[in-house]
Each structure stands twice: as structure tokens, then as C-alpha cells.
């Protein structure tokens, strides 16, 4: 005889709870005490219960799934514009369900506007939200609001130190290793006892966890591999004024003539490249991402290396994770680390499509 498949009723009897409580625990919906949910999931695993994903799909047929994202506004930064392109591509890519997407934007440079944007989540009716906790001090406020709304979330770009029970997945770069990678590239051009300049080129970068991790990775690399090199860290943040950038760089290089390289840990690298165009025997420049402005300076060799964080892929996979949760009430991968590419003039190619990770393989997928 075939062994009877375990059912929700079997779990309910063993856990001494109602079948409704088991359903909420197994499908991650509604309110349930964490210790009760943990006990139910442990029993389900012990008796070998498997969710019927096909039944779940049939039950949700023709139901519109409401998704939301809370991200920096369009037009402020080319990096985030690429992330938004990836999100839209995920929505457009022949989904098996109908999705409605609610967009909430905030000012990339204003933590207070981020807090104002959080309050808009309650009006979305979303089942899951995609966001980026780029303001470290304000992140607990967002967690509190999502807990109040019982709203699951997927995180991209910045991996916070603390998450809660509503956290589903992190998709993005390993910022610490990104900083170490930049240090490795820079070290190829450093003499013993030399100097390098590190510029986050971010307002209040100490409140941006991903920027702090890049800095720590960069510093650690030189402590480990070439401690004779002095790393000068700059907190210059007046990057919206190109003349201020030009004047600052001229003064910094005049005061520190031993600087052989500059590391910009943001995608605004082109602002430094413009300033260095006016300086004879300029240091090498390492920065981030294949924005058109950066690529132009890469081709002219005002930028020597770009580290691509694949923002379009990150946006695509982040929204796909939200879609996955909306359909199956679960997300397969708790963490997907986006690979970083080292871009030089010889290997840069125009991106005519997007790339998606399927079954741990990198597959090219072009626009139709």
C-alpha cells in the first residue's frame, strides 16, 4: 500500500491548533505567534508535508496580485534608473499572473522624504513590497511600519544589519567584497609608501550602510596586502556643483601630490573624471556602473576601471522575487548575490538585453 500523504489536518492535530492556524503558518499570511508558526513548520518538515503549488495556482487563478516598490525617484541617479528598468522588464516579461504595480518614490538625498514615503505604504493594498534600505538610521522606522501592516518585503542593493519576520530575500551586491575588489584593482597601480584617495561622493555616507561596507572592504584590503599605502578618505559631498568638484580635486591633489589613484564608491564617477580632465598627469580613477556618462570617460581613459553592480539585473530579480511570493506565498532564495563585472574599454559592450539567474545559471535573455 502507498503511504498516505501528510495533510494540513495531520499537522493541526499534532500541533494542537486549528487548521486555519496551520494554513496561515504554511502560507505566511495573517497574524500568528512566531513560536506557534515555528512549531507548525517543524512538524510539517518532520512528517514530510509538501505544499501543492498547482492547487495554489488554481486557487489564485484570475486574482490580481498587488505589488509595490519603494525606491529612489526617477531621474536623480542613472544607477537607480537602471534598477527601475529591470523592474519594468520583470513586469512586462509575460507573467503567468496579472499584476498591479504601485510605485512609491522618495528623494535619494533626503532621509526625511524616505520617512514620508513609508507612510504611503498603507494605501497600496500590496501583498509584498520591494525596497532598498539605503538610509541606515531610518530603516527601523520602515521595518516598524511593515510589521504594523503585516507586509512582507524583498530588499535590493543594501543588506541591512537587522531584519524581521517579514523579510523574504536580499538581492544585490556584496558591498564589502566590492570594496575589496576596488582595493585589489587599485593596488596594481600603487608604489610602496604611496597614497590613494577614497571618495564615497555621497551626502552623509555614514548613514548609507552599503557605502560604509565598501569603505571597510577597501581599507581592509590595503591593511592586509599593502599596509605601506596611505588611504585618504574624503567626505566631500558637494557633488551637485561641478565647479565645486573641480576646485576640490585641484586643491586635494595639490596638497597631496603623492596620490596615484582615486576610488569613487558611487556611480557618480564621471563627476571626478570631468575634474581630472583638467589636471595634467591625473591619478587613475576607479568607480562604478556603466552609466552613459561613465562609459564616455571610460572610452577616453579618464576612468580606468568601472565595477558594474548589474543594477538592471538586480531590479529584475527583485521584482521576480516579489512575483514569486505573490503566487506561491514563498520565495526560494533568501539571498542572491549579484556578480560584479570589471569593465574596461576593451570589454565594454552595449547592453541590448537583460540577464536573469535561473537554477544558478546565468542565462542571456534579450528583449522581444
Per-residue pLDDT reduced to its tens digit, 273-312: 999 998 888 999 999 999 999 999 999 999 999 999 999 9
Confidence of residue 60 (pLDDT cuts 50, 70, 90): low
Domains of the chain with bracketed CATH? 8-50 (1.10.260.40), 65-172+311-339 (3.40.50.2300), 175-308 (3.40.50.2300)
Distance CA 26, CA 150 (A): 16
Per-residue pLDDT reduced to its tens digit, 227-240: 999 999 999 999 99
For 53-73, give one letter per residue: b (16+ CB within 10 A) or e: eeeeeeeeeeeebebbbbbbb
How far does the chain reach from its first CA to its final CA, in angstroms? 51
Does residue 356 register a pLDDT over 60?
A: no
Residues 130-157: what's their mean pLDDT?
Answer: 96
Per-residue pLDDT reduced to its tens digit, 14-23: 998 887 788 7
Residues 132-136: what's their mean pLDDT?
Answer: 96
Task: Compute the mean pLDDT over every residue in the chain, rounded to the nearest whole number.
Answer: 88
For 338-367, give one letter per residue: b (16+ CB within 10 A) or e: bebeebeeeebeeeeebbbbeeeeeeeeee
Does residue 112 register a pLDDT over 70?
A: yes
Does residue 70 register a pLDDT over 50?
A: yes
Does residue 39 register a pLDDT over 60?
A: yes
Instruction: Report the percentage of the chain scoring pLDDT > 70.
Output: 88
Does residue 102 register a pLDDT over 90?
A: yes
Amino acid at each position: 500500500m502507498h503511504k498516505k500523504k501528510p495533510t494540513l489536518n495531520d499537522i493541526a492535530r499534532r500541533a494542537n491548533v486549528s487548521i486555519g492556524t496551520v494554513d496561515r503558518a504554511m502560507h505566511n499570511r495573517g497574524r500568528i505567534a512566531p513560536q506557534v508558526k515555528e512549531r507548525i513548520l517543524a512538524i510539517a518538515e518532520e512528517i514530510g508535508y509538501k505544499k501543492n503549488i498547482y492547487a495554489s495556482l488554481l486557487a489564485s487563478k484570475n486574482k490580481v496580485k498587488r505589488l509595490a516598490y519603494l525606491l529612489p525617484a526617477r531621474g536623480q541617479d542613472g544607477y537607480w534608473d537602471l534598477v527601475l528598468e529591470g523592474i519594468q522588464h520583470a513586469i512586462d516579461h509575460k507573467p503567468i499572473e496579472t499584476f498591479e504595480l504601485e510605485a512609491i518614490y522618495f528623494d535619494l538625498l533626503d532621509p526625511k522624504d524616505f520617512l514620508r514615503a513609508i507612510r504611503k505604504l498603507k494605501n497600496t493594498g500590496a501583498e509584498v513590497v520591494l525596497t532598498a534600505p539605503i538610509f541606515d538610521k531610518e530603516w527601523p522606522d520602515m521595518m516598524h511600519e511593515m510589521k504594523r501592516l503585516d507586509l512582507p518585503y524583498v530588499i535590493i542593493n543594501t543588506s541591512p544589519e537587522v531584519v524581521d519576520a517579514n523579510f523574504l530575500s536580499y538581492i544585490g551586491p556584496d558591498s564589502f567584497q566590492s570594496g575589496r575588489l576596488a582595493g585589489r584593482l587599485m593596488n596594481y597601480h600603487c608604489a610602496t609608501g604611496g597614497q590613494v584617495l577614497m571618495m564615497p561622493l555621497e551626502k552623509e555616507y555614514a548613514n548609507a550602510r552599503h557605502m560604509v561596507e565598501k569603505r571597510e572592504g577597501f581599507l581592509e584590503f590595503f591593511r592586509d596586502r599593502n599596509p605601506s599605502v596611505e588611504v585618504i578618505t574624503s567626505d566631500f559631498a558637494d557633488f551637485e556643483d561641478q565647479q565645486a568638484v573641480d576646485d576640490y580635486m585641484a586643491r586635494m591633489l595639490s596638497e597631496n601630490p603623492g596620490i596615484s589613484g582615486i576610488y569613487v564608491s558611487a556611480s557618480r564617477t564621471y563627476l571626478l573624471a570631468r575634474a581630472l580632465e583638467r589636471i595634467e598627469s591625473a591619478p587613475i580613477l576607479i568607480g562604478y556602473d556603466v552609466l552613459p556618462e561613465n562609459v564616455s570617460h571610460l572610452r577616453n581613459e579618464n576612468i580606468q576601471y568601472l565595477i558594474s553592480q548589474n543594477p538592471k539585473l538586480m531590479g529584475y530579480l527583485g521584482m521576480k522575487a516579489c512575483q514569486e511570493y505573490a503566487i506561491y506565498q514563498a520565495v526560494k532564495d533568501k539571498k542572491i548575490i549579484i556578480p560584479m563585472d570589471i569593465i574596461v574599454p576593451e570589454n565594454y559592450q552595449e547592453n541590448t538585453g537583460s540577464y536573469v539567474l535561473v537554477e544558478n545559471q546565468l542565462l542571456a535573455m534579450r528583449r522581444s
